[in-house]
A and B are shown apart, each in its own frame.
Chain A
Amino acid sequence: AQSVTQPDIHITVSEGASLELRCNYSYGATPYLFWYVQSPGQGLQLLLKYFSGDTLVQGIKGFEAEFKRSQSSFNLRKPSVHWSDAAEYFCAVGPRNSGNTPLVFGKGTRLSVIA
């Protein structure tokens, strides 16, 4: 069965420092890959997605993610974190032809930003 693992439940970084959030997936074939962000009490907003092609994808708010097939990973990065980036981040995967299979989400990584 497909699954998504986000190994870090909570990460704290200083404002201006770099950030990397980890995501590993288990899937039969290369899936579609997504990162979403959730501010407190809000729904999820799509940051970026990978379908095919260049394995480094750019998203909104200065985020990027790199797909590594050999490691079944899709890690999210940002070179310089802002206080407004404090939120919960979710990695998700889904099959290329959706069929009857919805997106599967990881349990999330909560990001705290300190001055």
Chain B
Amino acid sequence: EAGVTQSPTHLIKTRGQQATLRCSPISGHTSVYWYQQALGLGLQFLLWYDEGEERNRGNFPPRFSGRQFPNYSSELNVNALELEDSALYLCASSRTGGEANYGYTFGSGTRLTIV
């Protein structure tokens, strides 16, 4: 069974540009979560998509957005990139509804570097 896959592995952008990160969940998982892991800050919750809808959003500005496609894969878009957006972006997936917190399966992340 394939795990959670994220692409690209690394991404280098300049300030002001836009970045798109992609995530494919485990087969049978309908919830996708995005977390930002910046140096020394642990995992900060960004977004949660479930069955195509945004279910929850963390304390991030609106330039962080995303969507979930009918096949449950997801995109995270970051507009107007700033230096402090440099981080490892982790995607996770889980079953839906009340079982969502039975545990997440994580991908290996996308390392976004802003220069």
A residues within 8 Å of B by Cβ? 32, 34, 36, 41-46, 49, 51, 90, 94-98, 100-108
B105 touches A46 (CB 8 A): yes
Q: Shortest distance in angstroms between B22's beta carbon and chain A's nearest beta carbon?
A: 15
| Option from A51, A102, A106 in Cβ contact (under 8 Å) with B48 | A102
A108 touches B102 (CB 8 A): no
B residues within 8 Å of A by Cβ? 4, 33, 35, 40-43, 45, 48, 55-56, 90, 92, 97-109, 111
| Option from B43, B98, B105 in Cβ contact (under 8 Å) with A105 | B43
Which residues from B are CB-within-8-Å of A43?
Answer: 4, 90, 106-109
A108 touches B42 (CB 8 A): yes
B98 touches A104 (CB 8 A): no
B55 touches A100 (CB 8 A): yes
Which residues from A are CB-within-8-Å of B48?
Answer: 100, 102
Which residues from A are CB-within-8-Å of B45?
Answer: 102-104
List, sorted by A's number, 21 A–B pairs whose CB atoms are closer than 8 Å.
A32-B101, A32-B103, A36-B106, A41-B109, A42-B108, A43-B106, A43-B108, A43-B109, A44-B43, A90-B42, A94-B101, A96-B101, A98-B101, A100-B55, A101-B56, A101-B101, A102-B48, A102-B100, A102-B101, A105-B43, A107-B41
Which residues from A are CB-within-8-Å of B55?
Answer: 100
Given the contacts A44-B90, A44-B106, A46-B105, A102 and B33 also touching, CB distance less than 8 Å: yes
Q: Shortest distance in angstroms between A39's beta carbon and chain B's nearest beta carbon?
A: 10
Q: Shortest distance in angstroms between A91's beta carbon and chain B's nearest beta carbon?
A: 10
Given the contacts A43-B90, A100-B55, A102-B33, A107 and B103 also touching, CB distance less than 8 Å: no
Nearest 7 interchain pairs by C-beta:
A107-B42, A94-B101, A98-B100, A43-B106, A105-B43, A98-B101, A44-B106
Q: A32, A90, A94, A106: which has the most chain B beta carbons within 10 Å?
A: A94
Since A43-B90, A102-B101 are in contact, a sample of 14 more A-B pairs with Cβ atoms closer than 8 Å, ordered by chain A residue number, is A32-B103, A36-B106, A44-B104, A46-B104, A46-B105, A49-B102, A96-B101, A98-B97, A98-B101, A102-B33, A102-B56, A103-B45, A105-B42, A108-B42
